[in-house]
Amino acid sequence: METLLSFDKVYKDYPSGPSIIHALKETNFEAKKGELIAIVGPSGSGKSTLLSLAGALLTPTGGTISINGKSVGNLSSKEQTALRLEEIGFIFQAAHLVPYLHVKDQISFIGKMAGKSAAELEKDTASLLSQLGISDRANFYPKDLSGGQKQRVAIARALINQPSVILADEPTASLDTERSREVVELIRNEVVKTSRTAIMVTHDERMLDLVDHVYRMEDGILTQES
């Protein structure tokens, strides 16, 4: 299977007075097409640092990160912004929906930023809403949605530019068990059906039977468990 995200000897340090915090110790990691990967571990262990590095939001202190064959370190700031728009879809713990935008506009706004045409966006947005079972909420505001519906909108927004890599940071934290499984199953189905890859940081070990691989983060060290 083709590798869509890779870390080659990647590490991240932060200066802290006279000492250095090793937020992520030297890490080798690969995520391939069709894989949903979970990263678990206690707060402060380095999970968010790894996800931010994978999303080109942080620059590593050393090592090489490649996304869909492109070395992130070789890109200019402008090219990294374009890469995030085109190749990476973000799903956060809180859906972070814009209060004054209808559901369909929450999704199309991200596509506009990537330069998609209005006709293309209308078609793709309608398709995603249908796929995720929320077509009847297209003209609703976030305040009129349930927690599960908000996360479905967040998933649609993450997918609108057809990214290679989906990064999900605690996507089920505010949901009950039933809605949590629903959200993770939706992410898994999208990954398998469209040959993307997804990395999910989670404390919710009830969802681990739905993923292909589990990694644990402890004190900045990433190890594969399954």
**Domains of the chain, first to last:** 3-96+164-224 (3.40.50.300)
Q: Which residues contact 82 (CB under 8 A, 6 or more apart)?
A: none
User: How many other CB atoms are found less than 10 A from the CB of residue 163?
Assistant: 25
38-88 pLDDT, tens digit per residue, is 999 998 899 999 999 999 999 999 999 999 999 998 889 899 999 999 999
Predicted confidence band of residue 94 (pLDDT cuts 50, 70, 90): confident
For residue 89, pLDDT beyond 90: yes
Query: In angstroms, rounded to a whole number, what is the distance separating the alpha carbons of residues 46 and 35?
Result: 21
For residue 174, pLDDT beyond 80: no
Predicted confidence band of residue 7 (pLDDT cuts 50, 70, 90): very high
The average pLDDT across 26-44 equals 96
User: How many other CB atoms are found less than 10 A from the CB of residue 69?
Assistant: 11
For residue 208, pLDDT beyond 90: yes
C-alpha 28, offset from chain centre: 19
99-156 pLDDT, tens digit per residue, is 999 999 999 998 898 888 989 999 999 999 998 889 999 999 999 999 889 988 999 9
In contact, 27 and 222? CB cutoff 8 Å: yes
For residue 9, pLDDT beyond 80: yes
Instruction: State the alpha helices, DSSP H only, in 67-176.
Output: 77-87, 103-113, 118-131, 147-159
Could you please report the per-residue DSSP string of 185-214? HHHHHHHHHHT-EEEEE-S-GGGGGGSSEE
C-alpha 116, offset from chain centre: 21
pLDDT for 93 equals: 78
Predicted confidence band of residue 182 (pLDDT cuts 50, 70, 90): confident
pLDDT for 101 equals: 95
Query: In angstroms, rounded to a whole number, what is the distance separating the alpha carbons of residues 158 and 218?
Result: 28
26 vs 1 pLDDT, higher one:
26
140-165 pLDDT, tens digit per residue, is 999 999 988 998 899 999 999 999 99
Query: In angstroms, rounded to a whole number, what is the distance separating the alpha carbons of residues 27 and 127?
Result: 38
In 3D space, the residue among 32, 92, 28, 8 whose CA is nearest the CA of residue 212 turns out to be 32
39 beta partners: 201, 215
pLDDT for 24 equals: 97
Helix 103-113, helix 147-159: angle, nearest 10: 20
